[in-house]
Amino acid sequence: MKNVEIFKIENGYINKKIDPGINVIEEIQSLRKEKNAVILAHYYQESEIQDIADFVGDSLDLSRKAATTDADIIVFSGVHFMAETAKILSPQKKVLIPDLMAGCSLADSCPAEEFSAFKEQHPDHMVVSYVNTTAEIKAMTDIVCTSTNAYHIINSLPEDQKIIFAPDRNLGNYINSITGRNMVVWQGACHVHEEFSLERILELKKENKEAKIIAHPECEKPVQLVADHIGSTSSLLKYTQENDANTFIVATESGILHQMKLASPHKHFIAAPPKDSTCACNDCKYMKLISLNKIYNTLKYEQPEILMEEKLMKKAEVSIRRMLEISDKLGI
Ligand code: 13P
Ligand code: SF4
């Protein structure tokens, strides 16, 4: 393998000016081939990134791809916990993230030390954690889940099994309501999904009477209650393809609208508006830190790289593998 130049990472990424004469997309394509690299992108990425990615998907799909790819390098176009999950599942591969500052407010809302103390207060409980957590939390978890398989994973456990669900309170409460369980729910939340305005969604519905309201389970309960369908990003996408309606009011991060439009070009998609009309709060500021230029520099200089202690990775791997095994068994 050729040696690559080492650049200092500033503010989380390689801030190296790109020659304006080059075509960044073409360069990414040739670097990808030359280095046997794969670009995995979450549905919340910018459209132009989704268009050049080898694979676009939700967090469950992406973890499966990360576990099975035969590429030497994974460039993760998404947020830090997703890249960490990829590294844990493919420790022998080089996993790169174009911007280390691409975090997650939900993962941040569950600090390891506080969670460890919380767990100690519930010694007879099993821990099921949403994938939007740090590796430290996954290492304290029995089974990881995503919004696609959370319901099935919880349902696969004995009815009398006591459970701590972390970190998203809206997803946890939603699963409690549809399964009749009484899980102890960690009070974490996502800054994007808790910002949707019920009032403004209802105004839109009044103007578009035939529209279906669809929402991610990370949204607050009032938004969930008016939704015609609640589901993960891939479930929302599927619903827009299969439902006869022509208009959809979409209460999740706006990046998913790109795949919805590609899949159903004749249909109309309206991004649900946030409470604060002066900001684009339905954009995840962390997801949107990733750009084509940063992907190019990351592929070229093979930095920033996701690295973790082996002991931590091994511990966290157990709970992620359990999720993949249960999902495979249940055909999800
Ligand atoms: P999905 O599990 O639907 O991919 O969602 C991930 C996420 O970050 C939601 O905000
Ligand atoms: Fe995290 Fe919310 Fe961004 Fe998803 S949308 S990555 S939960 S901050």
pLDDT one-digit tens code per residue, 299-320 = 999 999 999 999 999 999 999 9
Q: Rounded CA gap, 165 and 154, in Å? A: 10
Instruction: Give residue 211's pLDDT band: very low, low, confident or very high (50, 70, 90).
Output: very high
Q: Where are the domains of the chain?
A: 24-101+287-301, 106-190+315-330, 198-271
3-state SS class at 74: strand
pTM (2 decimals)? 0.94
Which fold does the domain 198-271 belong to in CATH?
Rossmann fold (3.40.50)
Sequence-separated (6 or more) residues with CB below 8 Å from residue 274:
195, 196, 197, 280, 281, 282
Q: Which residue has its alpha carbon closest to ligand 2 atom 5?
A: 284
Task: Judge if 24-101+287-301 and 106-190+315-330 fold alike in CATH terms.
Answer: yes
Q: What is the chain's alpha carbon radius of gyration, rounded to the nearest angstrom?
A: 20
pLDDT value of residue 279:
65
The total number of residues shown for the chain amounts to 332
Decide whether any atom of ligand 1 lies within 6 Å of the 233 Cβ. Answer: yes
Query: Residue whose CA is closest, atom 8 of ligand 1?
Result: 132
CA distances from 277 to 195, 199, 281 (A): 10, 12, 9
Exposed e or buried b per residue across 271-290, where buried means at least 16 C-beta atoms within 10 angstroms of its C-beta: bbbbeeeeeebbbbebbbbb
Task: Look at ligand 1, atom 4, and give the residue with the nearest C-alpha.
Answer: 58
Residue range 141-147: mean pLDDT, rounded: 97
Q: Report the atom number in ligand 1 closest to the C-alpha of 252.
A: 10
For residue range 75-126, what is the model confidence (pLDDT) as tens digits?
Answer: 999 999 999 999 999 999 999 999 999 999 999 999 999 999 999 999 999 9
Q: Determine whether the shortest distance from the Cβ of 147 to ligand 1 is under 6 A.
A: yes
Q: Which fold has domain 106-190+315-330?
A: Rossmann fold (3.40.50)
Find the 3 Cα to ligand 2 centroid distance in Å.
35
What does the alpha-carbon distance between residue 124 and residue 2 come to, in Å, rounded to a whole number? 52
Q: Integer distance in angstroms from the first to the last C-alpha of the chain?
A: 38
Residue 189 has a pLDDT of 97
Tokens at 127, concatenated: 């821990």
pLDDT for residue 266: 98
Q: Evaluate: CB of 108 within 6 angstroms of ligand 2.
A: no
CA dihedral of 140, 146, 151, 153, whole degrees rounded to 10: -50
What are 6-60's pLDDT values in tens digits?
777 888 999 888 999 999 999 999 999 999 999 999 999 999 999 999 999 999 9
CATH topology of domain 24-101+287-301: Rossmann fold (3.40.50)
